[in-house]
Amino acid sequence: MASIGKIARRTFLFGTAAIAGGAAFGAWYVSRPAPMPLTSAPGRTALNPWIIIDETGVTVVAARAEMGQGVYSTLAAMAAEELDVAWDQVRVIHGPPAQAYFNGAMGGAAIPTPEYQQSAFQHRIGDWLEVIPKVFSMQITGGSTSTRDGFDKLRLAGATAREAMKEVAADRLGLRRSQLRTEGGQVIAPDGTTLAYAELAEAAAGVELGEVPLRPRSEWTLLGKTLPRLDMPAKCTGTATFGIDVRPEGLRFAALRRNPNLGAGMRGFDASAAKGMAGVEHVVELPDGVAVVATNTWLAQQAVNAIEVDWEPAPYPETTEAIFEAIEAAFDTDPNSTMRDDGDVTALPAGAQVIEASYRTPYLAHATMEPMNATVLFTGDALEIWAGNQGPVIARDRAAEAVGLDPEAVTFHTTLMGGGFGRRGEFDYVLQATHVAKAVPNVPIQLSWSREEDMSHDFYRPAALTRWRGAVADGGAVMLDGQIAGQSCSQQAITRWMGFAPGGPDKTHVEGASDQPYGVPAYRVRGHIADLAVPIGFWRSVGASGNAFGLECFMDEMAHAAGTDPIDFRLALMRGEHAPSAAVVEAVRDMSGWTGRTPDGVGRGMAFSMSFGTPVAEVIEVVQEDAGIRIARAWIAADVGVALDPGNLEAQLVGGMIYGLSAAVQGQITFAGGAVEQQQFYDYDGLRMHNTPAFEVQVLENLGHISGVGEPGTPPAAPALANALFDLTGRRARSLPLNTEFDLLV
Amino acid sequence: MATTLTINGTSHDVDLPGEVPLLWVLRDGLNMTGTKFGCGVAACGACTVHIDGEAVRSCQVALEDVWGEVTTIEGLGTPERLGRLQAAWIEHQVAQCGYCQSGQIMQAAALLAETPQPTDAEIDEAMQGNLCRCGTYPRIRAAIRAAAGMSQEG
């Protein structure tokens, strides 16, 4: 079977080598190349869909969307590394929706075995599975896959572009390509003659090359270093354009109200009070709500709130407790998955001590700082859309369908996003703006949600209940058996996106529990899917966000039952199973000065989780103060295989942990009368300056392949905090958020 | 009836009802989009501007109640001529999504105007009304200390 992987790899290289003729993407598809998404204009040559070179310089087309994770800059650095252009010469734009920008790494993540167990053979199969997202046009930013997906593609794009321009220069100068070198956006001959890329690019587009090798790491000048983010000056001067900031000529502003009973329709409404209000121009009925178009967003908000609406009731139980009863009942159903089934969990060695615990995690909102919004102009035969989004192909296609146009009639601009966290992989807000624009043709409409609408109409991180049973003997774990009950994100979201539910076991439902590098002799995890209509979606770190809480708190409970230090307890299970994971645990132990003992008034806890292929270990120190329990310090160790931008990696790991801590301390979405109770940042708050701990971060590179970092910092945060609170107080936290049981400083 | 506002040293005539909050006058009336909408209820600080040098939540100040000269993030500096805090923000690579940073910078500017060398407790007190969902607080603190000419340690 090894030859399959070899062929796949070679095809990939040859396919990319033929880039200039526009055949670059043949290797990425099963049988035929994807259409070229960027057409060439005179004087502006699309060498391939990732790089444009013209008289103004080099522009890297980022097929992944910038939502704060720094991908704009990291993808650009990959291309620039091979292209030999100075960092301050590089510009980045978001690519248009196009099949050629599919995210291959998302398909790789569909392999059923745990990431850390994937042998070289399975990694090659992962390459083959890249055809799956291609078929579905998954131009998606998510799953911490952007650097993993782009690492080879963008460097090859840069190298191919460079060699093609050298080929043109060699031809013009009567030299061989090997005699030329490149630097600062120029080809340089041995006698010092220089030819700027801009002079060569158009001719270079016709050049066909053989295999172009990538530079070894030892020759990197940009990658591996902390680079100033390209989007930083604009974001610090108020000049960055987010979706909510686009201002096409003649723009009108819209606000909406949707049924607070999520997913239910509207019986009718009376807008007579709204119609006479200042600035109001139109009232537009939507499938599950109503919108007002006005001269100003605030005036539209006032008017839409004056509309009387008769809503249909919720299609799910009306209270949080009734919803959790339905989740609990799922334990009595056949498991959807048994993603881990090592050894025999029913056969225990003599003298083994059995312990059990149940954990509860709530629904969570994404709560991006920029509320959902989209701007749409409908002209009868065309749509123009401006929206921050994590999946432009699907959003474009659904918007086109809604107005009866072909996708080709849509011009789609992906803007910067004021946070994504998974929320902007959905297209609901784009579709609503499209409906409003259709009702008011030839006028660009910006539909912005109020914070209340945003908080109460999310696709929430699903709530879950987890039952863990384990056994310890001789100071170590001998059995681990988990059952997880909750809704399936994948089934619901993929039904929304693709129109059908994928069958079979749902890996994401149990990830963070079933796929951890613990060599417990008997280790089983079963997932039970609760069939509920509460809207749910992908939330930063997805399944691991909640499942790591149960597993890692339970590991702590087992360690204490075994009389073993929680770090030693984990290391004993990891060392023979996955050395890089053991190394991050050792790193966090050493950097935090972990002794297993803490003075009175101080507690420490540790947790580990490997998500999206990246192992992360975190230690938290809590301190009892007069005002409450302060999260004082945090340590993070992670292994990303290849550390491309140390400064950005630190920012993502810290930010990911703060996102997880924000939820762990006070995040919960609850229901009453079918509606979400939380409406604002005062009842769904996050950590702030005064209760954020001091951080230390260490990044390791033992994995053997590159791995992403946007999400993996999040899952260990909640269990590390819960374990620290146990160390401080002697009380076990088995339910989130933690401020319901502990006097945390908020 | 038009209202006249002085924003970043320039006079603007605004033809909007007097109860429209300053935030929406800036964003939708004048296309000055550097000031951000986050919550509309003074719970996140994204819309922070200065009125006569004082940091205020522009979502809570009606047009008819604006009592002095308005300064927004655009008035603090430009990419070509950065303000002191903006330069510190870039030096410390603070922003991730960046959406809250206009408000963070305006809040920090008011802090330093009043307290040129703030303690950590004073930074906590001044900045805790400004939410950042990306979690950039450690770098915000570092940038404020740098802009104040203070060391990064305690």
Q: Give the C-alpha separation, A283 to A265, whole Å.
A: 17
CB contact (8 A) between residue B43 and residue A367: no
- Maximum Cα–Cα distance across chain B: 53
Weakest-pLDDT range from A275-284, A493-502, A601-610, B5-14: A493-502
Domain for residue B154, yes or no?
A: no
Q: In this predicted structure, what is the pLDDT of residue A49?
A: 60
Tell me the HSE value of B35 on the side-chain side, using a 13 A CA sphere: 34
Chain A nearest-CA residue for B35: A238
| Structural domains of chain B, count | 2
Q: Are residues B69 and B90 in the same domain?
A: no
Residue B90 and residue B64 share a domain: no
- The answer to whether residues B64 and B104 belong to one domain is no
User: Pick from B75, B90, B112: which residue ends a domain?
Assistant: B75
CA distances from B124 to A634, B89, B127, B138 (A): 18, 17, 5, 11
Q: Inter-chain contact A68–B77, Cβ cutoff 8 Å? A: no
Do residues A51 and A210 lie in contact, with contact meaning Cβ atoms separated by under 8 Å?
Answer: no
Between the two ends of chain A, the Cα-to-Cα distance in Å is: 56
A39-48, A242-251, A255-264, A717-726, range with the lowest pLDDT: A39-48
**Among A68, A451, A685, whose Cβ lies nearest the Cβ of B97?**
A68
A263: alpha, beta or left? (left if phi > 0; alpha if psi -120 to 50): left
- On the question of a cis peptide bond just before residue A535, with omega within 30 degrees of 0, the verdict is no
Give the pLDDT band of residue A467 (cuts 50, 70, 90): very high
- Which positions in chain A touch B34 (Cβ < 8 Å)? 237-239
Q: Is residue B57 part of a domain?
A: yes
Q: Is B153 inside any structural domain?
A: no
- Which residues, at least 6 apart from A350, have a Cβ–Cβ distance to it below 8 Å? none
B94 shares a domain with B56 = no
Q: Which residues of A touch B139 (CB under 8 A)?
A: 651
pLDDT at A241 over 90: yes
- Residue A164 and residue A201: Cα distance in Å, rounded? 8
Least trusted range by pLDDT, from A41-50, A479-488, A568-577, A673-682? A41-50
Class of domain A2-235: alpha beta
Whether residue B120 is found in the same domain as residue B142: yes
pLDDT of residue A118: 59
| Same domain? B123 vs B68 | no
Sheet holding A44-48, edge to edge: A44-48, A51-54, A57-62, A90-94
The DSSP string of A341-368 is EES-TT---TTPEEEEEEEEE-BB----
Q: Does one domain contain both B86 and B135?
A: yes
| Mean pLDDT within A469-484 | 98
Tens-digit pLDDT profile for residues A248-285: 999 999 999 999 999 999 999 999 999 999 999 999 99
* Nearest by Cα to A592 from A606, A578, A581: A606
Chain A, nearest residue to B105 by Cα:
A236
Q: Please state the φ and ψ torsions of residue A334, each to the nearest 5 degrees.
A: -60, 140
Mean pLDDT of chain A: 88
Q: Is residue A146 predicted with pLDDT exceeding 80?
A: no
Burial class (CB in 10 A: 0-12, 13-18, 19+), A377: buried
- Continuous segment of H or E residues that includes residue A570: helix A566-574
What is the number of other CB atoms lying within 10 angstroms of the CB of residue A486? Answer: 27
In terms of Cβ atoms closer than 10 Å to its own Cβ (0-12, 13-18, 19+), residue A228 is: middle
Element (H, E) at A269: strand A266-270
CA dist., res. A439 & res. A256, Å (int): 14
Residue B50 CA, chain-centre distance (Å), reads 7
Q: Both B97 and B86 in a single domain?
A: yes
Do B27 and B62 reside in the same domain of the chain?
A: yes
Q: Is residue B152 part of a domain?
A: no
Confidence at residue A97, expressed as pLDDT on a 0 to 100 scale: 66
Candidates A198, A186, A159, A199; CA nearest to A79 is A159
User: Residue B124 maps to which CATH number?
Assistant: 1.10.150.120
* Predicted local distance difference test score (pLDDT) of residue A41: 46
Q: What is the largest CA-CA distance in chain A?
A: 83
Q: What token pair was written down for B151?
A: 């060391």
pLDDT-based confidence at residue A89 (cuts at 50, 70, 90): confident
| A39 pLDDT higher than 50 | no
**In A26-125, where do the E strands start and end?**
44-48, 51-54, 57-62, 90-94
Residues spanned by the domain of B108: 77-147
Number of Cβ pairs < 8 A linking chain A and chain B: 198
**CATH architecture designation of domain A243-314+372-448:** 2-Layer Sandwich (3.30)
Residues 264-283 of A with CB under 8 A from B: 278-279
Domain extent listing, chain A: 2-235, 243-314+372-448, 320-364+459-740
Q: According to the model, what pLDDT value does residue A6 have?
A: 33
- Count CA atoms closer than 13 A to B91's CA, side-chain side: 14
On whether both B40 and B87 belong to a single domain, the answer is no
DSSP string of A414-425, one letter each residue? E-B-S--TTGGG
Is B98 in contact with A247 (Cβ distance < 8 A)? no
- Indicate the residue among B29, B51, B75 that finishes a domain: B75
SS (H, E, C) chain B: CCEEEEECCEEEEECCCCCCEHHHHHHHHCCCCCCCCCCCCCCCCCCEEEECCEEEEHHHCEHHHCCCCEECHHHHCCCCCCCHHHHHHHHCCCCCCCCCHHHHHHHHHHHHHHCCCCCHHHHHHHHCCCCCCCCCHHHHHHHHHHHCCCCCCC
- Tell me the three state secondary structure of residue A257: strand
**Residue A276 carries which side chain, given as an amino acid letter?**
G
Hey, of B22, B32, B99, which one would you mutate to test binding to chain A, going by the most A CBs within 10 A of its CB?
B99
Specify whether the CB–CB gap between A48 and A161 falls below 8 A. Answer: yes
Interatomic CA distance for residues A130 and A608, integer angstroms: 29
Instruction: Enumerate residues 6+ apart whose C-beta is below 8 A from B119.
Output: none
- Cα–chain-centroid distance for residue A358? 28
Q: Which of residues 351-370 of A touch B (CB under 8 A)?
A: 367-370
Q: Rounded to a whole number, what is the distance in Å from the CA of A683 to chain B's nearest CA?
A: 10
CATH for A320-364+459-740? 3.30.365.10
The token pair at A322 is 């009734």
Candidate from B34, B129, B133 with C-beta closest to A419? B133
Name the least confident of A1-15, A449-463, B14-28: A1-15
A3 versus B11: the higher-pLDDT residue is B11
Q: Which residues of A touch B102 (CB under 8 A)?
A: 238
Question: How far, in Å, CA of A725 to CA of A735, rounded?
Answer: 13
> For residue A302, what is the enclosing H or E element?
helix A297-305
Q: Over the Cα atoms of chain A, what is R_g? A: 27
B61 and B106 part of one domain: no
Q: Is A250 in the B-facing interface, judged by CB distances under 8 Å?
A: no
Segment A199-224 mean pLDDT? 84
pLDDT at A390: 86
Distance from CA of B122 to the nearest CA of A (A): 10
Distance from CA of A373 to the nearest CA of B (A): 11
Q: Is the dihedral of CA A666, A670, A672, A678 positive or negative?
A: positive
Mean pLDDT for the stretch of residues A596-620: 97
User: Is the fold of A2-235 the same as that of A320-364+459-740?
Assistant: yes
Q: Do B137 and B86 share a structural domain?
A: yes
List the structure tokens of A256: 């909406």
Q: Which of A229, A244, A695 sits opposite B138 (nearest CB)?
A: A695
* Residue A40 predicted with pLDDT over 70: no
What proportion of chain B, given as a percentage, has pLDDT over 90? 95
Least CA distance to B46: which residue of chain A? A369
Residue type for B110, please? A
